[in-house]
A = this chain, B = another copy of it.
Amino acid sequence: MAHSLETVLTEAVALLDEGGEPALTFRALATRLGGGAASIYWYVANRDELLDRATDEVMRQLLEHTADLVDGPDPVADLRALSLALFDEMRRRPWFGSYMLRNTGLQPHSMLMFDRIGQQLMRLDLTPRQRFHAASSLVSYIVGVAADLAQPPPKEFLDSGLEPAEFLALYADRWRALDPEDHPFAHHVADEFAGHDDEDVFRSGLDLLLAGIQVQAGERGRG
């Protein structure tokens, strides 16, 4: 029926939101669109392109909704705000993190997001090389956290019906059950692990990176 690339991507995103990456199949998508699976190939060449375009569509909306997060007085604060916006979206859509900021060739809006990050770095006193490395490192860190968040909870969790906090405590107990000789660190931080909040951990690593970047800029300013 009368579709468009836009409606195809909208429904694709809806499927991804509901069931993650495995839920996006041509047959399921076709059913949703009220048509045949083969028709979708009129709009995209294959499944990879469908995933890329769906991811890019989400990034487009994210860029739109966060357009005002930039050009504050402090570029480092803007970097933090941008990163947290990405983190937020990754929580809302665990599948999103695994595909964003890759294939920047086929994902123009991911490329724009990368540039927006870089534009903040251009406001700091750094060499172009330092800026390139800093932008790459920030993206790598964000993508790494994304991979962690995308990890689906083990089905023991879904079956148990426990609260997330309870399940975390249960996991911490497993750390405490490990041989203390082989896993001194696991015992050392079991309590922290049991009570941790993902956003705190994310902010923490982000601040380490941003602090390092600020030090570089300061050194150049002084040198």
Q: How many copies does the complex hold?
A: 2
Contacting residues of chain A (168-216) with chain B, CB-CB under 8 angstroms: 174, 178, 182-186, 188-189, 191-193, 196, 200-201, 204-205, 207-209, 211-213, 215-216
Residues in B whose Cβ lies below 8 Å from that of A200: 133
A128 near B183: Cβ-Cβ < 8 Å: no
Q: Which of A98, A118, A136, A183 has the most CB of B within 10 A?
A: A136
- With beta carbons under 8 angstroms apart, the residue of B142, B174, B196, B209 that contacts A208 is B209
For the complex formed, measure the closest distance between the CB of A86 and the CB atoms of chain B, giving whole angstroms.
Answer: 12
Complexed CA–CA distance, A119 and B174 (Å):
18
Please tell me if A76 contacts chain B, counting CB pairs below 8 Å: no
A185 to B112, CA, bound (A): 10
Closest chain-B Cβ to A99's Cβ sits at a distance in Å of 10
List the B side residues contacting A128 at CB < 8 Å. 188-189, 191-192
Stretch of A12-20, A32-40, A144-152, A158-166 contacting B (4+ beta carbons < 8 Å)? A144-152
In this complex, how many residues of chain A approach chain B with their Cβ under 8 Å: the count is 62
- Minimum CB–CB distance for A101 against chain B, Å: 9
Hey, which chain B residues are within 8 Å of A212, CB to CB?
207-209, 211-212
5 contacts between A and B (CB under 8 A): A131-B188, A137-B141, A140-B148, A143-B147, A144-B147
Interface residues of A (CB under 8 A from B): 98, 102-103, 105, 111-112, 114-119, 121-122, 128-148, 151, 154, 174, 178, 182-186, 188-189, 191-193, 196, 200-201, 204-205, 207-209, 211-213, 215-216
